[in-house]
Amino acid sequence: MSIRTVVLIAAAVAFLAPAVPGQNPPSEQITIPLSLPGQPGTLIVPHGRGSVIVTGYDGAAVIVKASPAGPAGGDADQGARGLAWVATGETRLSAMEDGNTVTVITNSASKTIDLRILVPRRFNLKLSVKDNGRIEVDGVTGEMEINNLNGSVRLDRVTGAALVNTVDGDIVCRFDRIPPGLPLAFTSVYGKIDVTFPSDADLTIRMKTDQGSIFSDFDIAVGPRKSLSEPAEKAGGRRVTLEDWTSGRIGKGGNDVRLQSYEGNIYIRKSKAGRP
Amino acid sequence: MSDKKTERLVSELLKGRLPSGKEARIKASLKKKGMNPGRLAEYEKLWDALAEERVPEPSEAMSVRFRQALDEAKKTGWRSETEGAAARNPFRRPGLGPAPRWAFGFSLVVIGWFVGYQLTPRPERSRLEALNAEMRDMKTAIFLTKMESASASERMSAVHYAEDAAAWDDTVREALVRALNSDANANVRLTALETLTRRSNDPRVREALVQSIERQESPLLVLALADVMLALDEKRAAEPFRKMIADPALYFSVRQRLEETIRKLT
Amino acid sequence: MPSDNELMAAVKNGDLEKLADLYEKYNRPLFAFFYKMTSDPQASEDLVQVVFCKILAYRDRYRDKDGTFAVWLFQIARNARIDHYHKEKFLKNASDVDELEIKSDSDTAGDYERREKALRMREALNGLTEVQRETLILSRFNGLSYEEIAAIMNCRVGTIKARVFRAMETLRESFRALEKSA
């Protein structure tokens, strides 16, 4: 299998053009064709700083647009008064494709760069952001591994197994459908967790929040409060009790779903929209 | 007496299924090369005799086992070990990484262990008990193979599976500890921690948990470990937690939590 | 009747049930191969399980071209057997072969003679090297061509043919010796 490296050929506006106030920062864009068009693939974005926004579309290639982000609003750089921000456009956007797995790399370790990516609807995603950005996914079906250290994660109209993890960001997810089999997990330290499942989902849920509360409009058949422990051994073992998990069943029970936050609330919602 | 060509011709003749013209031609060539027809006949007789030892019928259990294994695989949504592009991708996040060479050997060892278990002589057991034991072994083998997966969802599913199905032994424990310490995905590590915590009466598990503290970078894991150590009243954890607090970049509330934990432990 | 490649493609695609069709077709030939190499029916059954387990686990590695499924299958089978026997030399001596020596009252002269011959064949086969024995067994049974066997054993077709010849020659000589001592 040959690895194709698609390197950006500067296709956008000249970067060092004198900036006009109000002009959008110039972006770089590349289109990555797939080795096996029409078949599912995987998108890997190990991102540093900046947002990653992925949208499913009815096409057969992956299209990436990278824009250097302007200074954060409220940047009180006195020296910049009266001047417009000049984007220097060095995103160094590049991508590798190998057997339908696409990896997108930019200069985001040192610069804040926002990515907007279009993927075919059936695609697995491995997205991670360290800082200064949010992760959004809309309209994708596949396995999703999403990590945002300090920002929020939003999944909309997705189908598949999701493992989502933030330290300091809210997690909001809306699932169209959850195929049986693989587990889901949503974990955060400071963020809230707000997930919406289809009303006819069959899930086995475990929830825990240290300092927040749990809310739901599902009829969750809550099991007896279980502690993570082994029954004490006869020969003087100690019974271990940890912060209790609340476990329950939605529908007939099914995929394992784990929701955990330390300081945030947990919301489990029933989707109001009819199934497509 | 025989040269390479003769050898080849004899082998082809024995294999048979030759178009009729060719068979005659080969026999003629062999005759020309001086192959004694009596000798050729002996080869043919032996070739036939090879088929005579009747192979016994395998037992019904073989098909039953296969059916059980297949059903089990379908139930757990067992994905394949893809020799995927992702595995070879140099930009992939560090962690489990591409299935290293040893992983293939590891799986073989696993399966070998499974089969080896079956091969060692053992006292007669009741059929049901034996089938149950085989299922347990198969489940452990499935667990270990799934843990090698490039997909985090698969590995997560493997850890869940270990909670319910796999028998508890050294290999399972070690695989879970490895996951806790070095899995690329924090959710997998957390679930491994929970599964291990259920077995905290095993001193080796406790040892592994304490040693894991220093290896964790994610505050999620650190907090989870702090909870566990507190519940276990594991005083050995105080020292690694103290080292962690020394890091100035530590999240404030994590530091708070650790300070509190240390206080309660000591 | 779907081809092996079609069945395997379905398995790769997630239709694991199709593996059962492949099992139907190949479980006896596989068992026979293992039995002929090991003389141990229980071990042979275990090894059949191992092979199908590996097919499941590594199904994505299968690349379909004409006639390659049987090759892949037997490559897995060979490796499986070697892995589990490289420590112990599982050459069963004639004296270990219990099942052949069970006498029963319904033994006719024909049965007895057949058993005797089978025992002698077993002994003669034991005089071959392992690789020779494998090559012979794969050639004689399982309907594999020399080209396929060469692919399975990762060597040239000429080598296979030469090996078959030399194995047959060795058998011939040991049978002559056995006959003399009979």
* Residue B34 forms part of a structural domain: yes
- Would C119 be classed as within a structural domain? no
Using CB atoms, which residue from C16, C118, C164 is nearest to B53?
C118
Which value does ipTM take for this structure?
0.81
The per-residue pLDDT for range B138-183, each reduced to its tens digit, is 777 778 778 877 788 889 888 888 877 666 778 788 889 999 998 9
Query: What residue ranges do the domains of chain A occupy?
Result: 25-69+88-120, 152-231+242-276
Candidates B49, B74, B114; nearest CB to C121: B49
Of the candidates C53, C60, C175, which has its C-beta nearest B80's C-beta?
C60
Contact list in C for residue B103 (CB cut-off 8 A) is: none
B223 CA to chain A: closest CA distance, Å? 9
- pTM above threshold 0.80: no
Assess whether C66 and C131 both reside in one domain: no
The minimum CA-CA distance between A139 and chain B, rounded to whole Å, is: 20
Whether residue C17 and residue B112 make contact (CB cut-off 8 A), yes or no, is: no
Residue C41: CATH number of its domain: 1.10.1740.10
Last residue of a domain, one of C43, C72, C90: C90
Residues of B in contact with C47 (CB under 8 A): 115
Contacts of C64 (CB under 8 A, 6+ apart): C5, C8, C9
DSSP bridge pairs for A269: A196
For the cut 50, the answer to whether the pLDDT of residue B121 exceeds it is no
Residue B26 lies in a domain: yes
Residue A12 has a pLDDT of 37
Which residues have a Cβ under 8 Å from the Cβ of A275 and sit 6 or more positions away?
A176, A177, A198, A200
Q: Give the whole-angstrom CA distance, residue A259 versus residue A209.
A: 8
Is pLDDT at B120 greater than 70 in this prediction? no
Most confident range (mean pLDDT) of A204-208, B98-102, B107-111, B197-201 is A204-208
Q: Domain residues for B33?
A: 4-38
Q: Calculate how close chain B gets to A87, using CA atoms only, in Å.
A: 27
Cα distances (Å, whole numbers) of residue B97 to B54, B120, B152, B158, B174:
49, 35, 11, 17, 18
- Report if residue C97 sits inside a domain: no
pLDDT given at position C141: 75
Percent of chain A with pLDDT over 90: 41
pLDDT of residue A22: 45
Q: Tell whether the model's pLDDT for residue B115 goes beyond 60.
A: no
Domain-embedded: residue C95: no
In chain A, residues 160-219 whose CB comes closer than 8 Å to chain B: 161, 163-165, 167, 180-183, 185, 187-190
Residues C68 and C147 reside in one and the same domain: no
Residues, chain C: 182
Burial state string for C76-104 with b = 16 or more CB within 10 A and e = fewer than 16 = bbbebbebbbeeeebbbeeeebeebeeee
**Is a pLDDT exceeding 90 seen at residue A54?**
yes
**Number of domains comprising chain C:** 2
Domain that holds residue C53: 1-90
User: pLDDT band at residue B2, thresholds of 50, 70 and 90?
Assistant: low
Q: Do C44 and B82 touch (CB under 8 A)?
A: no
Assess if residue C100 is contained within a domain: no
Residue C170 lies in a domain: yes
Whether C178 is covered by a domain: the verdict is yes
Helix (H, G, I), strand (E, B) or coil at A145: strand
Q: Which of A158-162, A262-266, C78-82 has the lowest mean pLDDT?
A: C78-82
Say how many Å lie between the first and final Cα of chain A, rounded.
38
Mean pLDDT, to the nearest integer, of A63-92?
67
Number of domains in chain B: 1
**Which of C64, C90, C116 is the endpoint of a domain?**
C90
B223 CB neighbours in chain A (<8 A) are 189, 262
Radius of gyration of chain C (CA): 18
Q: Give the domain CATH number at C182.
A: 1.10.10.10
CB A107 within 8 A of CB A43: no
pLDDT in tens, A201-215: 999 999 988 888 888
pLDDT value at position A133?
A: 92
Gap between the Cα atoms of B40 and B196, Å rounded: 67
Q: Is the pLDDT of residue A87 over 70?
A: no
Q: Final residue of a domain: which of C90, C117, C136? A: C90
Q: Has residue A13 got a pLDDT over 90? A: no
Alpha-carbon distance C60 to nearest alpha carbon in chain B (angstroms): 5
Q: Which of residues 83-142 of B touch A (CB under 8 A)?
A: 84-86, 88-89, 91-93
Confidence check: pLDDT of A108 > 50: yes
Per residue of chain C (182 residues), give pLDDT as tens: 788 888 998 998 888 899 999 999 999 999 999 998 888 888 899 889 889 988 887 787 787 765 688 888 998 898 888 876 654 444 443 334 444 444 445 556 667 777 777 778 888 888 888 889 999 999 987 678 899 999 888 888 999 999 999 999 999 988 887 667 65
Q: What gap in Å lies between CA A253 and CA A201, rounded to an integer?
A: 8
- Asked if the structure places residue C101 within a domain, the reply is no
Residue C2: which of B65, C14, C20 has the closest Cα? C20
- What is the chain B residue with the closest CA to A130? B218
User: Under a CB-based contact definition with an 8 Å cutoff, are residues A86 and A19 in contact?
Assistant: yes
